[in-house]
Structure 1
Amino acid sequence: MQASVQPTKFFPALEGLRGIAIIAVIIYHNFPYGDSLFGWLGVDLFFVLSGFLITSILFRSVNIDKPSAYFKKFYIRRALRIFPLYYLFLFAFLFLLPALGIFNNEVSEYQEDKFWFIFYGQNWLFTNNFPETSHCLNHFWSLAVEEQYYIFWPIIIILLKKPRYLLIFLIGFLLVLFGFRSYIWNAHYEGFNYTNFYTFTRFDGICIGSIIAILSIQKKEFILRHTASIVTGLAALNFIFYFANTSGNLPYLAFIGYTTFAAMFGILVYELAYGNANWLKKIFSGNMLRFLGRISYGLYMFHWPVHYFLRKPLFIFFNDSLHLPKVYNQILIAFITTAISIVFSLISYYFFEMKFLRLKEKFQ
């Protein structure tokens, strides 16, 4: 009889870190001055977490299961986690609302490009043709990046298998990405927004999360021994490219900024998983953070459409009734729409998503 993969170790602090990631994303999208508070880094933190956790799962499975079981278990379990709510959203926004004649302007462009969403290619669509009037599903670009990773990474792992070869591949791939981005920047392609949504700009965080997972298998103490050197090197890179950006108009974030931030997140992920800082683990294992981390998938999907559709009527209502300064009005609206999104996410998690999550137990 074929051996079954033992359940991957659960890290409560990483669930809390996922809670931090969704808080950052919500601050960026819903609250005023969210970009100044570095809320946009929440997505990169999600990418690093995904790379670390998925690689840990796959590497454990590839060394125990037959290839057929390896692929079957991974893809079915991922599908049960991701597809139900994702395609429910697509059905609602691409088919149901248009059929009912509701929010036509907000979903019209998505209708024209629905196949990009159905096959997880919307980030490539946004790179070349960002929606002008439809915005309520724009945050789905990051889901496409992750899904593209889920498709190809299991294949690469089973082909290379050994941690050393996988590390060489990932480091080489990152170098290729740097070179490719440099070429695009020098070529000055018009209308090609590669700085925000492009797969080969945003894959770095997932690659770094994967590297952290492999190092934890191959050389578990490596990062702990070299943390100071890694942080110093990343700081130097940030310093160099910051000045390159100010003098030469280099797209700093797209070229190296996302990468260095992701590397810092990678060190934090490693510390929370395998480090000795128990006080840090205790902070990130708090009940509230873990609660938000548990429902973060649904909350990511709900938070922006809820805020997008409610912000204007709520602003008019509060402006007329409370006469608050604009920024206070915006903060109040952000808290209200976030609370509503949490309620929707709770309902979704316990009454919809859990029905599919329970099926994952059949594919341990």
Structure 2
Amino acid sequence: MGSFSPAGTADGSKRVASVDSLRCFAMTAVVAQHCGLMPFGWTGVWLFFVISGFVVTLAVIERPTDRPPLERLRGFFRRRTIRIVPVYYAYVGVGILASLAAGASVDLFDLLSLLGFYHNVAMGLGRGQLSDWPVAHLWTISVEMQFYLVYGTVLVLASRRTVIAILFASSLPPLS
């Protein structure tokens, strides 16, 4: 079985070339789905979620554990926030401005679902739209942020044994 050999980057993070290759396949599948070239390209989204789980787990277990757990958790959330929120909020902000410039009103619930990362819930309720600006694809960011909140907290604060038990239990097929 091969081993992972992460390469350091300028920001101190480690990249795994084989995982970057999987990201390429996932992105290609999603783009092909949206272009009508691959009807099962949605699998790329699921692959992105799996990659995210792997990368987050690797990042957390490779960090030193000499700091208090809550300090490590704050650092975890800070890194995720810095990586996602600025670009995401800029995109949503441009969408709000475009909608308002087009004379459309912006529904407060829909806006809060985007800003609060529960856009997937709003879409499930048939809501979460901005007039004249595409936001339907942003449900994936909401799911990712919810994942970081739940899994990141468990991963940083729970014992390794508990994390392994949760991962094992979550991989079992549902009882029918």
Range of TM-score over shorter length: 0.7 to 0.9
Name whichever structure is richer in helix by fraction.
1
Q: Residue 97 of structure 1 aligns with which residue? A: 98
Pairing partner for 1:139 from 127, 134, 137: 137
Shift of 1:133: 8.8
1:11 to 11, 16, 22: 16
Deviation at 1:13, TM superposition (A): 2.1
The answer as to 2:173 corresponding to 1:172 is no
Gapped runs of 5+ residues in structure 1? 1-6, 183-364
**Percent of residue pairs identical:** 27
Q: Kindly report which structure 2 residues correspond to 1:66-81, keeping only aligned pairs within 5 A, or say none.
A: 66-81=68-83
TM-score (norm 1): 0.41
| Pairing 1:34–2:38 present | yes
TM-score, normalising length from structure 2?
0.79
The CA deviation at 1:39 is 0.7
Structure 1 residue 178: Cα displacement: 3.6
- What is residue 147 of structure 2 aligned with on the other side? 149
**1:63 and 1:8, CA in 2 relative to 1: closer, same or farther beyond 3 A?**
farther
The AA in structure 2 aligned to 1:17 is: L
Tell me the equivalent position of 1:114: 111
Amino acid at match of 1:81: R
Provide the rounded CA distance (Å) in 2 between the counterparts of 1:84 and 1:93: 14
Q: Is the 8 A contact 1:62 1:161 kept in 2?
A: no
Figure out how many residues of one structure are paired with residues of the other and give that number. 164
Whole-angstrom CA distance in 2 between matches of 1:151 and 1:132 = 24
Cα RMSD over matched residues?
A: 2.7
Aligned to 2:29: 24
In structure 2, runs of 5+ residues without a counterpart are 1-11
Measured in 2, the distance between the counterparts of 1:124 and 1:160 equals: 27
Structure-to-structure mapping, 1:1-364, within 5 angstroms: 9-29=14-34, 31-35=35-39, 38-61=40-63, 63-94=65-96, 96-101=97-102, 104=104, 113-129=110-126, 136-162=134-160, 164-174=161-171, 178=174
CA contact (8 A) 2:99 2:106 kept: no
Letter of the structure 2 residue corresponding to residue 114 of structure 1: L
* Greater C-alpha Rg: 1
8 Å Cα contact 1:8-1:56 kept in structure 2 = no
CA deviation vs aligned residue, 1:72-128 (integer Å, no higher than 9, x gap): 32111111110010000111112x1123227x4xxx676651101110001011112
**Higher relative contact order (CA closer than 8 Å, sequence separation 6+):** 1
Supply the distance in 2 between the matched residues of 1:58 and 1:149 (Cα, whole angstroms). Answer: 14
The answer on whether the counterparts of 1:109 and 1:131 sit within 8 Å (CA) in structure 2 is no
Distance, in Å, in 1 between the alignment partners of 2:85 and 2:158 is: 28
Measure the CA separation in 2 of the matches of 1:132 and 1:8.
35
Question: Could you tell me how far 1:161 is from its partner in structure 2?
Answer: 2.0
